[in-house]
A and B are shown apart, each in its own frame.
Chain A
């Protein structure tokens, strides 16, 4: 199949307006004859479900949590970008577009990114109207800050809880539609598969997580808003329940997977404290505005520190290597996320890591406290310092923080066209779950923007075009495809429950995570990736022989839930490795060791890799088929990033 991204013709700034005009509309009195299924209720899902219901469609919404409000969008801290130019500092839709394309290291579509920047301004208006309490100035107008190295102040925020407030806004809009009877809400329901009829998505199979009941739901279109797959690494900043299952099942039903190896590693997370560690906690990267990153100058000093023979405060200035300031004098500690992360890993790999595990570097506020005073530092970062103290029992006002990079976001996801439709007609993908807008690296404060852009302002137009095309003929679950898919789901559950081996689901997950982190994380080599492929496939085989899954289907069974998700991660992991093997260039969030400059910096290869890698599932144990969507840059000139 030839990939058609359906980017509208014409000048960049007119593409979306023209496209909206060209999209078919559904007659208002016909809207109630359609049912749209929305899976996931984070920013993308909740905003889509509410907006479609407001238009008059019937919506069935599903989440695995006990409330839509608990989706992991809730945990986003920093903020949301919008090209409002309220600060009169030179921002514009074009600048936000440009920054996003450049930040994504020229691996995102111009048309999509421009639309994202264009609708960003509407998002802020919408959220304020809902009662989202953004930070304000004394004059009563909205406050902004500069975020993630941006040259303009375009980030709107609500203390360190922007994601929470935006999600509660979307959740309130969703609640209103549930109250009005336009949205039927299914909580504690997990999507187990997509049902396709004559090649079109026409429903889903779900499992009621409390009773175990396997149910079929029919709809005219299915929207997957199911988030990212960072938990393939076991340890990440994702919530424990975040998983790839919905996207992966869709992939196996014909939806191509775009750029699966594009993951984002966030530099300022609290390091691992032991084998019991279940997740990692991110601290806002705003900390790097005043904190200085360093490691001990020699391996000997690092060893003494780890053994507790000396204290960090004993180390003199000349014993410290402020490696970001040394290597990147122009940007210093404010280099982009990928550069900061990779350099921390290099220090640790060189034996200069700190903390009991040796897997961390320092982030030091001593200079900032000297310069600004402890009170000023507290006013800026108090909540982050408290959180750090809470988790580590170390006081960051008295000694440097220990930080280490952690998996935070996945830019890859299901391939979608400009309408957010996957390669399966009627199956759409929104938010982090799709691949579309962030290229090879996402800028800070852009994830919330994309989730809400997709849900509030893109899908209500584009899904209408599809619905108008297929017509309002009633759909139900009587087609044999439903019974067939349901049976496949039930068989798989039985197979999982029959596993009574010796290793727990968690042990498999942790092992997979270590493989992914070691070989498909920040720095990758061909040799390592080939090794990883073998390791993952052996682990997967072992899983289906030796795993233990407890309990039965007909009950609340968290062990069974985990087993299904880890089984899917074990398949996804191998595709990520394939994708990483194929992409022989360094770009954005990942560094391919074979592709670097003489100075050891990432070297992109536009000649050979300016494309989206879209992978087609070809059957169990068959190699996936690679399709390429060439990326065309008509407006932005491709340049090599340099932060020296």
Chain B
């Protein structure tokens, strides 16, 4: 097919968490513009394996932008040059023949590198475990239509709930802050009536865990919102701050 490209890749290679990493240069030839970015890497990896070299390791799974596994920092931007998509939905037509492409893992001390481009994002897990839920057991709940929720509120909660947990917000932030990620879950449940009983307890527990994980502070620069592949808005952070201050001033016993 015409229009295929030749690219130079500078890829971060690092054997494991404790070893020192470095950039290694690879040639990616005959790249079709219809390939996804990860398919381009697949082809490079096939070549490496055939030569007896180690393939480049990176996290990926659904390849349709929803699982949040893929997490590449491409030419200085989380998920690459295209706005509003995860790496797996980035296609090579977003690049030009002859271009050099720098590929790095997420850079944040709370996300240690496992190998090459794969990082350990279990800090996110621990934050969710600290309070990202409504404490209801299976069974014994009211009929779904007994809880009427205004459509605008339900839609707003849904917008917060679409976070895919990829960590691009942290990677984009100069302070490696996790405020956008945490506030998305806090907001979703703070907006909904089901989340009210634990509203102030939840925000305190999740923020405390976030601090413990070593994420940086938020200075409202908005890089997180700009790079979020699913458009989680800064309003969530404002909402979380309001709830957090309310909790600290008046509800500190609700922990």
Residues of chain A touching chain B, judged by Cβ–Cβ distance below 8 Å, are: 47, 50-51, 54, 65-67, 69-70, 72, 74-75, 84, 86, 122, 124-131, 133-142, 158-159, 161, 164-165, 168, 171-173, 175-176, 178-179, 185, 187, 210, 239-241, 273-274, 276-279, 281, 356, 390-393, 456-457, 460, 500, 502, 504-507, 548, 550-551, 555-556, 558-559
**A128-B147 contact, Cβ under 8 Å, with A274-B1, A278-B39, A550-B55:** yes
Q: Are A131 and B35 in contact (CB under 8 A)?
A: no
B28 to chain A, nearest CB (A): 11
Task: Check A179/B129 contact, CB under 8 A, given A125-B143, A390-B89.
Answer: yes
B46 touches A504 (CB 8 A): yes
> How far, in whole Å, are A72 and B85 apart by their CA atoms in the complex?
18
Once bound together, how far apart are the Cα atoms of A241 and B58, in whole Å?
13
Over the window 132-149 of chain B, the binary record of Cβ atoms lying under 8 Å from chain A Cβ atoms (1 yes, 0 no) is 111111110111110111
| Given A240-B61, A550-B55, CB of A278 within 8 Å of CB of B38 | yes
Distance in angstroms from A546 CB to nearest chain B CB is 12
Asked whether, in the complex, the Cβ of A550 is within 8 Å of the Cβ of B154, the reply is no
Contact B54 A551 (CB under 8 A): yes
| Cα–Cα, bound, A241→B62 (Å) | 8
Shortest 6 CB-CB contacts between residues of A and residues of B: A140-B148, A172-B133, A129-B141, A133-B158, A128-B144, A273-B34
Q: Contacts of B188 on A, CB cut-off 8 Å?
A: 131, 133
CA–CA, A65 and B118, complex, Å? 12
B114→A210 contact, CB < 8 A = yes
B241 within 8 A of A: no
Chain B stretch 165-197: residues in CB contact (< 8 A) with chain A: 165, 188-189, 192, 194-195
Within B1-37, the residues touching A (CB, 8 Å) are 1, 15-16, 32-36
B59 touches A66 (CB 8 A): yes
Interface CB pairs A-B, < 8 A, 27: A67-B68, A70-B62, A75-B62, A125-B141, A129-B134, A129-B147, A131-B133, A133-B155, A136-B150, A137-B151, A138-B151, A141-B145, A142-B145, A158-B158, A164-B162, A165-B158, A165-B161, A175-B129, A176-B129, A176-B135, A241-B61, A276-B32, A500-B52, A502-B50, A550-B52, A555-B115, A556-B16
Residue of A129, A142, A356 most packed against chain B (CB within 10 A): A129
Among A281, A550, A556, point to the contact of B64 (Cβ < 8 A). A281
Is the CB of B77 closer than 8 A to any CB of chain A?
no
- Across the interface, B61 reaches (CB within 8 A) one of A84, A161, A239, namely A239
Smallest distance from the beta carbon of A369 to chain B beta carbons, Å? 24
Whether the pair B141, A133 counts as a contact (CB closer than 8 A) is no
Determine whether the beta carbon of A128 is less than 8 Å from that of B46.
no
Chain A residues closer than 8 Å to B158, beta-carbon distance: 133, 135, 158-159, 165
Q: How far is the CB of A351 from chain B (nearest CB, A)?
A: 21
- Is B69 part of the contact surface with A, judged by Cβ < 8 Å? yes
Please state if A72 and B36 are interface contacts (CB–CB under 8 Å).
Answer: no
Q: How far is the CB of A408 from chain B (nearest CB, A)?
A: 12
Q: Answer yes or no: B253 CB below 8 A from chain A CBs.
A: no
Min CB distance A501 to B, Å, is: 10
Name B150's contact: one of A140, A171, A506 (CB within 8 Å).
A140
- Whether B32 contacts A179 by the Cβ 8 Å rule is no
Overall SS of chain B's interface:
loop
* Partner-contacting stretch, out of B101-109, B120-128, B244-252: B120-128
Does the CB pair A133–B192 fall under 8 Å?
A: yes
Q: Which residues from chain B contact A558 at a C-beta distance below 8 Å?
A: 55, 57
The answer to whether A74 touches B16 (Cβ under 8 A) is no
Task: Please indicate the chain B residues that have their CB under 8 angstroms from the CB of A137 in the complex.
Answer: 151
CA distance A122 to B138 in the complex (A): 9
Q: CA–CA, A178 to B125, complex, Å?
A: 10
Q: Hey, which chain B residues are within 8 Å of A172, CB to CB?
A: 128, 132-134
B201 within 8 A of A: no
Known: A75-B66, A159-B158, A505-B49. 7 other contacts (CB 8 A): A51-B137, A70-B165, A129-B134, A164-B66, A276-B40, A550-B52, A555-B15
- Chain A residue at smallest Cβ distance from B158: A133
Identify the closest chain B residue to A505 (Cβ): B49
Out of B62, B121, B133, B148, name the residue touching A176 (CB < 8 Å). Answer: B133
Asked, given contacts A74-B67, A139-B148, A558-B57, whether A131 binds B39 with beta carbons under 8 Å apart, the answer is no
Which residue from B32, B52, B68, B148 sits with its C-beta under 8 Å from A70?
A: B68
Docked complex Cα distance between A159 and B91 (Å)? 25
Do B144 and A66 touch (CB < 8 A)? no
Tell me which of B38, B85, B122, B141 has the highest count of chain A C-beta atoms within 10 A of its own C-beta: B141
- Contact of A168 with B85 in the complex, beta carbons under 8 Å: no
Chain A residues lying within 8 Å of B161, measured Cβ to Cβ, are 133, 158, 165, 168
Which one of B67, B162, B194 contacts A128 once the chains associate, using CB atoms below 8 Å? B194
When the two chains form the complex, which single residue of B59, B62, B144 contacts A84, counting CB atoms closer than 8 Å? B144
Q: Are A278 and B141 in contact (CB under 8 A)?
A: no
Bound: A179/B164 CA distance, A: 21
Least CB distance, A65 to chain B, in whole angstroms: 6
Per the bound structure, the CA–CA distance linking A133 and B131 in Å amounts to 18
List B contacts of A356 (CB < 8 A).
1
Q: State whether B42 touches A278 (Cβ < 8 A).
A: yes
Contact B61 A129 (CB under 8 A): no
B51 to A: closest C-beta gap in Å:
10
Known: A241-B61, A456-B138. A187 touches B122 (CB 8 A): yes
A500 to B16 Cα, complex, angstroms = 24
Are B145 and A66 in touch, CB under 8 angstroms?
A: no
* Alpha-carbon distance A506/B45, docked complex (angstroms): 10
**Contact residues in A for B133 (Cβ distance below 8 Å):** 130-131, 172-173, 175-176
Q: Does B93 contact A (CB under 8 A)?
A: yes
Measured between alpha carbons, how far is A390 from B34 in the docked complex, in Å?
10
Can you list, as one digit per residue, whether each of B214-241 has a CB less than 8 Å from chain A (1) or not (0)? 0000000000000000000000000000
Q: Once bound together, how far apart are the Cα atoms of A555 and B64, in whole Å?
A: 28
Q: Please, how many angstroms separate the alpha-carbon atoms of A54 and B89 in the complex?
A: 38
Partner of B151, one of A136, A164, A241: A136
> From B90, which residue of chain A is reached at the shortest CB distance?
A390
* Given contacts A136-B154, A506-B46, A125 and B61 within 8 Å (CB-CB): no
Neighbouring A residues of B138 by C-beta, 8 Å: 47, 50-51, 54, 126, 173, 456-457, 460
Please state if B16 and A555 are interface contacts (CB–CB under 8 Å). Answer: yes
In the bound assembly, the distance between CA atoms of A72 and B63 in angstroms comes to 10
Flag if B194 contacts A274 (CB, 8 Å).
no
Q: Could you tell me the distance between the alpha carbons of A551 and B49 in the complex, rounded to whole angstroms?
A: 10
Asked if residues B192 and A74 are in contact (CB atoms below 8 Å), the reply is no
Candidate in B1, B33, B52, B151 with the most chain A CB atoms within 10 angstroms: B151
| A69 nearest in chain B by CB position | B165
Residues in A whose Cβ lies below 8 Å from that of B35 = 273-274, 276
In the bound complex, residues from chain A placing their C-beta under 8 Å from that of B93 are 393
Q: Does B208 contact A (CB under 8 A)?
A: no
Contact pick for B69, options A66, A84, A555, CB 8 Å: A66
| Closest Cβ neighbor of B154 among chain A residues | A136
Are A70 and B67 closer than 8 Å at their CB atoms?
yes
- Residue among B139, B162, B189 with most chain A CB within 10 A: B139
Instruction: Give min CB distance, B135 to chain A, whole Å.
Output: 6
B130 at the interface (CB under 8 A from A): yes
Min distance, Cβ B151 to any Cβ of chain A, angstroms: 5
Of chain B, the residue at the smallest CB distance from A393 is B93
Instruction: Give the Cβ gap from A41 to chain B, nearest Cβ, in Å.
Output: 11
Contact A66 B62 (CB under 8 A): no
